[in-house]
Amino acid sequence: MAEIKKVSVLGLGRMGGALAAALVGEGHDVTVWNRTPKTLPGTKSAATPGEAFEAADVVVTCLSTHDVQQPLLSKNIKTLVNLTSGTPEQARATARWAQDNGVEYVDGVIMAVPQQIGTPGAKILYSGQREHHVLHAFGEPVHLGEDAGMAALHDLALLGVMWSAFAGYLQAVALLGTEGVTPQQFTPMAVEFLNEMGVLLPEMGEETRHRVYETDVSAVDINVSGLRMLADTAAQQGVDAALPEALHDLFRRAQQKGHGAHSIASVIEVIR
Ligand SMILES: NC(=O)c1ccc[n+]([C@@H]2O[C@H](COP(=O)([O-])OP(=O)(O)OC[C@H]3O[C@@H](n4cnc5c(N)ncnc54)[C@H](OP(=O)(O)O)[C@@H]3O)[C@@H](O)[C@H]2O)c1
């Protein structure tokens, strides 16, 4: 059993509520504050953020944005564990504020949905000071270094993979839907295909590291042609073509840069 701590949670939204409940489940002494007054079983409610700071050794924040959070912070906080999503620069600015005000600072991001909090499936990526406070109550903490911005950078990078894959899936569902194919019919194929694509990432990553893009599998030229066909087909079938057009533009710029005969990994030469 971990050491019992006095913890205050600012923000009792979907995620903040799950975090506070997990802390209660671990036996911590929990005080909560929410803009719209709310109660949570097993916790005390603070009338103001200041009251929540007074009550705690550790303050966990989980508000909608850094902009909402920043004006609420106070040098009366002893240790701040920020779990509000933001950009690396916002995390670094909060780290500078914390250092100037004698506040210990941990910046974390939650790679899970509220229902997973408190299970081993919830990864909590964090950076800044090494944490020895409360993150274990939420899932598996993974430290990413002293630079406070690294957790946010990893968060956005991983979410970028998610948004791209999900948007690609929705594009496919819409395209097939024009001919009456249902998501139920198509989704098993998409899942199998995505799993096969995932297996290719380690090799692709190595290619980007060494910047060697020789291929006997699939060259940029053939993918530019394929993306042109996808964008044209989207337009012909009457669905939005912005996503395939954007991908076509990206791959075409790699082709124009001389990577036509190279592997898909060479597209990174345009991106970076
Ligand atoms: N939900 C997820 O699956 C998930 C996953 C990973 C990370 N996160 C991150 O967790 C954070 C919270 O997300 P959520 O899903 O819990 O959002 P949410 O359910 O919309 O809750 C937002 C929280 O922010 C508070 N808030 C909003 N504007 C405020 C203001 N001007 N002043 C004071 N408090 C304010 C809300 O208070 P009121 O109740 O008064 O509106 C509420 O407590 C976000 O940064 C999000 O990116 C969420």
DSSP string covering 53-80, please?
A: HHT-SEEEE--S-HHHHGGG--TT-SEE
Q: Is 12 in the pocket of ligand 1 (CB under 6 A)?
A: yes
Q: What is the mean pLDDT of residues 132-155?
A: 94
Q: What is the mean pLDDT of residues 240-264?
A: 98
The third-level CATH classification (topology) of the domain covering 6-146 is Rossmann fold (3.40.50)
DSSP class of residue 188 equals H
- Whole-number average pLDDT of the chain: 96
Residue 104 C-alpha to ligand 1 middle, in angstroms? 23
Q: What is the mean pLDDT of residues 183-187?
A: 98
Q: What is the pLDDT of residue 8?
A: 98
Ligand 1 atom showing the smallest separation from residue 83 Cα: 10
Q: What is the second-level CATH architecture of the domain 154-271?
A: Orthogonal Bundle (1.10)
Residue 13 C-alpha to ligand 1 middle, in angstroms? 5
Residue 11 C-alpha to ligand 1 middle, in angstroms? 6
Provide the H-helix boundaries in 31-179: 49-54, 66-69, 88-100, 150-177
Does residue 2 register a pLDDT over 70? no
What are the residue ranges spanned by the domains of the chain?
A: 6-146, 154-271
Q: How far from 33 is each of 47, 74, 141, 257, CA to CA, in Å?
A: 7, 14, 24, 54
Q: What is the mean pLDDT of residues 69-81?
A: 95
Does residue 94 register a pLDDT over 80? yes
Q: Is 230 in the pocket of ligand 1 (CB under 6 A)?
A: no
Does residue 1 register a pLDDT over 80? no
Distance, in Å, from the CA atom of 112 to the CA atom of 55, rounded to the nearest integer, reads 28
Does residue 59 register a pLDDT over 90? yes
Residue 69 C-alpha to ligand 1 middle, in angstroms? 10
Q: What is the pLDDT of residue 133?
A: 74
Q: What is the pLDDT of residue 30?
A: 97
Tell me the per-residue pLDDT of 204-231, one tens digit each, with 9 for 90 and over. Answer: 999 999 999 999 989 999 999 999 999 9
Q: What is the mean pLDDT of residues 11-37?
A: 97
Q: Could you report how far apart the first and last alpha carbons of the chain are, in Å?
A: 46
Q: What is the pLDDT of residue 41?
A: 96
Residue 79 C-alpha to ligand 1 middle, in angstroms? 20
Q: Is 61 in the pocket of ligand 1 (CB under 6 A)?
A: no
Q: Is 33 helix (H, G, I), strand (E, B) or coil?
A: strand
